[in-house]
Structure 1
Amino acid sequence: MKLPPTARTALIIVDMQNGFCRHEGSAKTAGFDITQCQSAIEPCGNLIKAARVHTVPIIFTRLVWREDYRDGGVITNEVLPGLIEAKMCAKDSWDAELIDEMAPRAEDFIVEKNRYSAFYGTPLNSILTTHDIRHLVVCGVTTNICVETTVRDASQRDFRTFIVRDATGEIAPERHEWALTTMGTRFGWVVDSADILNAWRRNPAVAA
């Protein structure tokens, strides 16, 4: 495995939103355990700082549905109607906003989506190809749902994809481990944030 260089690499921060990472958010109030999601905040922040130093493009994704959830399709209307009851990530709500620690800058990209994959129905692929990106460093929440779905889609588009173990979080610990195992054996490489930070620090322009 060659770790990603800073050249032709993008950092994708998946759905680090109030709804998933704050005690007042919809996931916690609906009874889910957000401990891992909160634990991912600091490692994600460290990756963002390093990406800024090395001018690695940063892409934040947000899961956002209309206030009436008519754009949620089968997910919100049939499979998980509890999301509507919890008012999860409704457009223009505090719940849907990125947490303060993930505040984007003018040069960053924000991709809004209403499905689990950050590629589906969004400009993400165009952003990556426009910037000649080959390597993706992916972190965020939740590991088993939006992170994994995005990673699977990235792999099918032939991006070299690195999933950052300590910078991802799931609302069920066992699903976190399942997802990491699946992604690391079929769709990319599972690494720690220290691996990425050290690779960028040692020889940023060349794959380690």
Structure 2
Amino acid sequence: MNQYLNPNETVLILVDIQNDFCHEEGACSKMGRDVTGAQEIIPQVELLMENAREINIPIVFIQMTQDEHTISDAWTNRPRPAGYTDPLDICKKGSWGTEFYKVSPREEDIIVEKHRYSGFIGTDLDMILRNLNCKSIILTGVATNVCVESTARDGFMLDYHVTVVKDASAGYIPALHEATFANIQNNFGMALETTEIINYWSKLKSMV
């Protein structure tokens, strides 16, 4: 487990914890998505952030934004829920919907802006992680089976040890949410609970 959770080589990543994905007045909720799961993960995310900071694990906030320069034909016409029309209805750059939901980066935290599902596509995330001497990434956020899993897969392909936090990730379709964890464990890395991660870090602290 140390190769996945070693504080000296690990970065905690928060994926798309933003108003449009989590808030009851955000775009996803207005399209009929049940966002209660996204809201319920916040205490676990905050607990992970608190414990990560205590042992100097860097924290990266992934922030989805869209504008007219990042919208392609394929992106516009991808499968979406009923009620979705304009791709700029979600996370339009500079809008309230792009703002973080109940989590706030500190000055020392890192914000990476993305325009596709994966936090690695078209961003500096890989460069940032390598400059932090990171070998392992711990992923939280929404949606489990879309942006979290896409980032996890790409992270694995780039040779990072990948952990997805089960009770700090949320999806809108329960079956797909749960399937992600099975898929990660079978092919890409680890799927753990918040307490498992924190308990492991606590044991390391007690040995110092």
Q: Which runs of 5+ in 1 are unaligned?
A: none
Q: Which amino acid aligns with 2:146?
A: I
Say yes or no: does 1:191 pair with 2:164. no
In 1, Cα distance between equivalents of 2:39 and 2:21:
8
TM-score in terms of structure 1 length: 0.92
In 2, Cα distance between equivalents of 1:104 and 1:170:
23
Aligned length: 203
Q: Is the 8 A contact 1:27 1:34 kept in 2?
A: yes
In 2, Cα distance between equivalents of 1:180 and 1:86:
30
Q: CA deviation at 1:205?
A: 10
Structure 2 equivalent of residue 94 of structure 1:
96
In 1, Cα distance between equivalents of 2:99 and 2:196:
29
In 2, Cα distance between equivalents of 1:44 and 1:140:
8
Structure 2 equivalent of residue 51 of structure 1:
52
Identity of aligned residues (%): 33
Q: Is the alpha carbon distance of 1:83 and 1:116 closer, same or farther for their aligned partners in structure 2, counting shifts above 3 Å?
A: farther
In 2, Cα distance between equivalents of 1:98 and 1:83:
23
Moved over 3 A (4+): none
- Range with greater deviation from structure 2 (12-21 or 2-11): 2-11
Q: CA deviation at 1:72?
A: 2.5
| Higher-RCO chain (CA-CA 8 Å, sequence separation at least 6) | 1
Q: CA deviation at 1:179?
A: 1.2
Q: CA deviation at 1:84?
A: 2.0
TM alignment of 1:141-156, pairs within 5 A: 141-156=142-157
Structure 2 equivalent of residue 182 of structure 1:
183
In 2, Cα distance between equivalents of 1:198 and 1:72:
43
Q: Is the 8 A contact 1:13 1:140 kept in 2?
A: yes
Structure 2 equivalent of residue 121 of structure 1:
122
Q: Is the 8 A contact 2:66 2:88 kept in 1?
A: no
Q: CA deviation at 1:86?
A: 7.3
Q: Which runs of 5+ in 2 are unaligned?
A: none
TM alignment of 1:63-82, pairs within 5 A: 63-66=64-67, 68=68, 70-80=69-79, 82=84
Structure 2 equivalent of residue 21 of structure 1:
22
Q: Is the alpha carbon distance of 1:85 and 1:203 closer, same or farther for their aligned partners in structure 2, counting shifts above 3 Å?
A: closer
Q: Which amino acid aligns with 1:87?
A: D
Q: Cα RMSD over matched residues?
A: 1.8
In 2, Cα distance between equivalents of 1:111 and 1:38:
22
Q: Is the 8 A contact 1:18 1:94 kept in 2?
A: yes
Q: Is the 8 A contact 1:5 1:203 kept in 2?
A: no
